[in-house]
Amino acid sequence: MTLRTRITELLGIEHPIVQGGMMWVGRAELVAAVSNAGGLGILTALTQPAPDDLRREIDRCRAMTDRPFGVNLTILPSASPPPYAEYRQAIIEAGVRIVETAGARPQEHVEHFKEHDIIVLHKCTAVRHALSAERMGVDVISIDGFECAGHPGEDDIPGLVLIPAAANVVKLPILASGGIGDGRGLAAALALGADGVNMGTRFCATKEAPIHQRVKQFIVDNDERATNLIFRKFRNTGRVAKNSVSDEVVTLSAREGVDFSDIHHLVAGAKGREGLETGDLDAGLIWAGQVQGLIDDIPSCAELVTRMVADAEAIIRDRLGAMLA
């Protein structure tokens, strides 16, 4: 039995499992390992300090895998935005065939990528956004449930509802994202109408993830309650792991008259990067989802992908199949 879906056919991959773009984590070591395991690894463009660095990282990834991989470009509101158009041009000139977009107002980027016949996966947190992206011309919708790490939107709709709600109206292939970390999640996503899964936190707890071992063990040791929702009052909700920093952000944000400048020193990306690289669990934010409660080991990407697919196939064939009798 082999899981063949619209995602495996479109992306040219063996298994319907995608590693989503993650700041500071989506580097060549992890991306190549996921792609070599039969999934789709995705480099994170803005992890690289400049477009030329991204070009070099793409070359480095190509030296480590001959299988498909993609690049994530996330567009975020900022007073001093990075040179998105230059990163986009670097992706195009490098001959990358698959791009994951996320964030606000991606149309300019999507249109340019499509002019070069690049397959575009777009991450959404609401059905209405998925329909808008479909009209925009993307090729795949990655629908992100409330359980996810990162920014789950402001509607608070979990995957068990959001995935089938999207599948009811979206004609494009769908990747289910948020709260998925094993074969049960993969089988469930397929049953809900998705064509594959997109995972972030689970791939952080793998041997090839380029982060400190203490951070990986922290994810393993945490349970499903060990996250905080931050930035709620600024309508830019983020889900992160519970630590002293995110606890303080929650406490400060609850005070009257607090604005973002009052917590910026705690949530700066450089502090989060420091924690991932040094293993200091209280240096900054650690972005992780509720799926922490389902993670109990640190396998290689090959072991993880192989196990997930085998477990999903067994659930579909044996457990669910037996119920039909």
Task: State how far the Cα of 140 lies from the Cα of 157, in Å rounded to an integer.
Answer: 20
pLDDT at 80: 81
pLDDT at 8: 98
Q: What is the DSSP letter of 291?
A: G
Tokens of 63: 């030296």
List CB contacts of 52: < 8 A, sequence separation 6 or more.
Answer: 90
pLDDT of residue 1 exceeding 70, the answer is: no
pLDDT in tens, 7-47: 999 999 999 999 999 999 999 999 999 999 999 999 999 99
pLDDT at 2: 83
Q: Average pLDDT, stretch 185-198?
A: 98
List CB contacts of 252: < 8 A, sequence separation 6 or more.
Answer: 258, 262, 263, 266
pLDDT in tens, 125-184: 999 999 999 999 999 999 999 999 999 999 999 999 999 999 999 999 999 999 999 999
Share of the chain above pLDDT 70, in %: 99
pLDDT in tens, 48-92: 999 999 999 999 999 999 999 999 999 987 768 999 999 999 999
pLDDT at 76: 85
Taking a C-beta distance cutoff of 8 angstroms, is the pair 239, 149 a contact? yes
Taking a C-beta distance cutoff of 8 angstroms, is the pair 271, 246 a contact? no
In this structure, what are the phi and psi dihedrals at residue 63, rounded to the nearest 5 degrees? -75, -15
Task: State how far the Cα of 82 lies from the Cα of 112, in Å rounded to an integer.
Answer: 18
pLDDT of residue 325 exceeding 80, the answer is: no
Tokens of 231: 């930035």
pLDDT at 300: 98
Q: Average pLDDT, stretch 307-314?
A: 98
Sequence spans of domains, the chain: 6-211+301-324, 213-290
pLDDT at 104: 86
List CB contacts of 120: < 8 A, sequence separation 6 or more.
Answer: 99, 100, 101, 110, 113, 114, 137, 138, 139, 140
Q: Average pLDDT, stretch 200-218?
A: 98
CATH number of the structural domain 6-211+301-324: 3.20.20.70
pLDDT in tens, 230-252: 999 999 999 999 999 999 999 99
Q: What is the 3-state secondary structure (H, E, C) of 259-273?
A: CHHHCHHHHCHHHHH
Share of the chain above pLDDT 90, in %: 95
